[in-house]
Chains A and B, each alone.
Chain A
Amino acid sequence: MNTQTATVQRRSEGPDPARRLQRGDRAAWDELVRQEHKRLFNLHLRLCGDREQAADLTQETFKTAFSSCRSYSGRGKPETWLYGVALNVSRNWWRRQNRQEPPEELGEDLADPEPTAEQLAILREQSHLLHEAVAGLPEVYRRAVALRYFAGIPAVEIAAAEGVDAGTVRWRLHAALKKLWGNLQRVGLEPKGEQL
């Protein structure tokens, strides 16, 4: 270990990593990159569907987060804040792609998701179907699904990060699943009991 690395390690030994991240401590940010780059890459991959693009978006996410580290209040988990930044980056990318956002209104004919075991198996094997279905969700639902299921953040923390009630987040997740189920049926998943 050379002198520079040792200095970085000493500096990163502070008691509060959130505070260090907030102050722009480079060692803390390097640690955050090491821990989170894979999950961020997978998040972007599931949202945009392209590996190279997901890598670029991951890089842009860290860049954006580091430049605006002072906007992190330090109260929530750094990962939650980082995924929020990632979703903003993803949204901006969507806008740059001139992709039309689907409407947020829920159709009355949307049924609750009741996949069969066979359908679940298909979804596990062909995850691109899920990615396409998630990409077809309105932004607010896509954001909720990505944070809750792809990033694994509890609804309470999402609510704190988004500035809404936990109940609102849960309602959004419920509506997102119904829409997602409808999208899955549109992208090729046959209704229950039938073959794809």
Chain B
Amino acid sequence: MNQGPEEQLNTPLEDVLANLPEEESPEGLEERCRQALDEVTPAVKSRLQWEPWRQLMAAAAVLVMVVGAGNLFTGGRVREKIFPPQRPRAIETEMPVSSVPRYATKYEAAAPQGPAVGTPAPSAPRGPAGPDQSGNDTKAALNAAGVERTTVNGWSNRPSTDVQRRLAQDAASGAGAGGPAALPAAPPPALPPGVKPTGVQVWIGETPPQVKRRLGVEVAQSSGPRAPAAYAPGGPPTATPRAPSQSYNNFGVSQANKPWLDQSDTRRKMTGRSIELETPRVEETYKQATTLIEKAGGYLTQENLSILRKSRSTANLQARIPVGQFDGVVAQIRDLGKLVRLTGESQDRTEEYQFEGTSIRELGAREEQLAAQYKAEDKTVPKARLKRQLEAVRQQLAATKDAMRSLHHEVSYAQLSLTITEARGLRAIVKSAAEQALPLAFSLALIAVPLLVLALIWKRKS
């Protein structure tokens, strides 16, 4: 037998094995072997036809794999270039720039408005606490969450026609005896100079204090965590008034500014409800809720709507609703979606109310008495003493009236806190999980599938 030139047989046994005598093959073995070849046909033609296709497939697989690797290491940018993500439905119904409400530009409007008094952050037109702070947080959170669009509808921030009608009546009746000024019925003023309506879609609404003052709502005493701090004169000009000019209580008398005149035995309760709803369409439910509130004569004190593409959309609003309409509105709102939680609290403030009323009446009587004495007194020294007493009583009377008005507002308008979250059924969970896993699966598939193709091609070739 032949031995390779590079290998030598080392042992005698190997030598014997390699040099065994060959035997002659049977006669006609070669011919039999050739005949055997005639019996079979090698299937080489199809392989040769497939050869260029395999090369092409291999090249395509390598290309796809490179794209997949690039996509994996660039965080999905390649995929987004190939398959641009679909914009959410809300974008298709985006409001034209001309109809963007003023408050939509609140973030951009910060610089031209100048710093607000008592506001530590110069870029924030609102106070340090309350809605603006949460609004900034919300904006940052939305940006971090990749929000495509968040909308607060302009119509929901205008007073309803019912409220406007009442305001017009108030204006016509004069409210002369210390009555509130009527809400200007003029359309919203134009954007401030230098403000560009960029369509920022987040706004946390709060009625500006100067508007509240004009409407007769005492800002200083309207307690609550959302009450803004003091503003510079002519402070934030970009909010549309939302509260009615005058409180309409459930007691048949318009006494927003003279509640101490009411000496009925009606119990005065401060009521609040907190509702949490789940609904598949957050934005629509939010609109319906605000419509119900405004039709009932209520107004929103705070709202936050977040339509998120990658996570659950949410909406939060806090509203004040006349106590007479409150139960009806709550019943209607809770039917707008699946009720998750409903809590309520009530506090009887009747004694405090009556005490404040009695104090005011007594102080009023005292004031009248002192005024009469002051008028009748001729001597200088006693007259000066009476004057000081009269001023002290008047100051005390004014403070007590303010407290009374605040108390009256609290018992006349019940507070509603509504949270709307997007419903998460099994289908929604599966869809969300699939959407989150899709980019990674796509990147891995772009690498794994070409690798599989290459492996199959290589296997067939070898």
Q: Which of A123-163 contact B (CB under 8 A)?
A: 123-124, 127, 130, 145, 148-157
Evaluate contact between B42 and A38: CB separation under 8 angstroms.
no
Evaluate contact between B4 and A157: CB separation under 8 angstroms.
yes
Our pick among A30, A52, A130 for the contact of B34 (Cβ within 8 Å) is A30
**Bound complex: CA A181 to CA B17 (Å):** 12
Q: Which of B18-26, B157-165, B360-368, B389-397 is found at the contact surface with chain A?
A: B18-26
B426 within 8 A of A: no
B39 within 8 A of A: yes
List 6 additional A-B contacts (Cβ < 8 Å) besides A63-B37, A120-B12.
Answer: A33-B30, A34-B30, A66-B36, A69-B44, A73-B462, A113-B13
**Bound complex: CA A165 to CA B462 (Å):** 17
Q: How many whole Å from B444's CB to the nearest CB in chain A?
A: 30
Evaluate contact between B4 and A177: CB separation under 8 angstroms.
no
**Bound complex: CA A154 to CA B1 (Å):** 12
Which residues of chain A come closer than 8 Å to B3, judged between CB atoms?
152, 154
B186 within 8 A of A: no
Evaluate contact between B16 and A58: CB separation under 8 angstroms.
no
Interface size class of A (residues with CB under 8 A): 35 or more
A51 within 8 A of B: yes
Which residues of chain B come closer than 8 Å to A38, judged between CB atoms?
22, 24-25, 29
Interface string of A43-82 (1 = CB under 8 A from B): 0011000011001001110110011111001000000000
Which residues of chain B come closer than 8 Å to A29, judged between CB atoms?
37
Evaluate contact between B40 and A150: CB separation under 8 angstroms.
no
A11 within 8 A of B: no
Q: Which residue of A lies closest to B25 (CB)?
A: A41
B32 within 8 A of A: yes
A186 within 8 A of B: no
Which residues of chain B come closer than 8 Å to A155, judged between CB atoms?
7
**Bound complex: CA A45 to CA B23 (Å):** 9
B424 within 8 A of A: no
B385 within 8 A of A: no
A95 within 8 A of B: no
Evaluate contact between A154 and B44: CB separation under 8 angstroms.
no
Evaluate contact between A58 and B42: CB separation under 8 angstroms.
no
Our pick among A39, A67, A145, A153 for the contact of B17 (Cβ within 8 Å) is A145
**Bound complex: CA A113 to CA B6 (Å):** 23
Evaluate contact between A24 and B16: CB separation under 8 angstroms.
no
Interface string of A11-33 (1 = CB under 8 A from B): 00000000000111010011001
Evaluate contact between B32 and A59: CB separation under 8 angstroms.
yes
- Chain B interface main SS type: loop
Evaluate contact between B36 and A59: CB separation under 8 angstroms.
yes
**Bound complex: CA A26 to CA B36 (Å):** 12
Which residues of chain B come closer than 8 Å to A52, judged between CB atoms?
26
Evaluate contact between A70 and B43: CB separation under 8 angstroms.
yes
Which residues of chain B come closer than 8 Å to A156, judged between CB atoms?
4, 6-7
Q: A60-B36, A67-B42 are in contact. Are A177 and B20 (CB under 8 A)?
A: no
B86 within 8 A of A: no
Evaluate contact between B23 and A42: CB separation under 8 angstroms.
yes
Our pick among B16, B29, B32, B42 for the contact of A66 (Cβ within 8 Å) is B42
Q: A55-B25, A68-B42 are in contact. Are A150 and B4 (CB under 8 A)?
A: no
Our pick among B6, B16, B41, B461 for the contact of A123 (Cβ within 8 Å) is B16
23 A-B contact pairs sorted by A residue (CB < 8 Å): A24-B41, A30-B37, A37-B29, A37-B33, A38-B24, A39-B1, A42-B22, A42-B23, A46-B20, A55-B25, A60-B36, A63-B40, A66-B36, A66-B37, A70-B43, A73-B462, A117-B12, A120-B16, A123-B16, A130-B17, A150-B18, A156-B4, A180-B17
Q: A63-B39, A69-B44, A152-B18 are in contact. Are A33 and B34 (CB under 8 A)?
A: yes
Evaluate contact between A154 and B4: CB separation under 8 angstroms.
yes
A191 within 8 A of B: no
Q: How many whole Å from B26's CB to the nearest CB in chain A?
A: 5
Q: How many whole Å from A147's CB to the nearest CB in chain B?
A: 11
Evaluate contact between B13 and A181: CB separation under 8 angstroms.
yes
Evaluate contact between A55 and B13: CB separation under 8 angstroms.
no
**Bound complex: CA A110 to CA B357 (Å):** 118
**Bound complex: CA A123 to CA B36 (Å):** 35
**Bound complex: CA A55 to CA B44 (Å):** 27
Q: Which residue of A lies closest to B45 (CB)?
A: A24
The 4 closest A-B pairs by CB, nearest first: A154-B4, A24-B42, A152-B1, A149-B17
Evaluate contact between A41 and B29: CB separation under 8 angstroms.
yes
Q: How many whole Å from A21's CB to the nearest CB in chain B?
A: 10
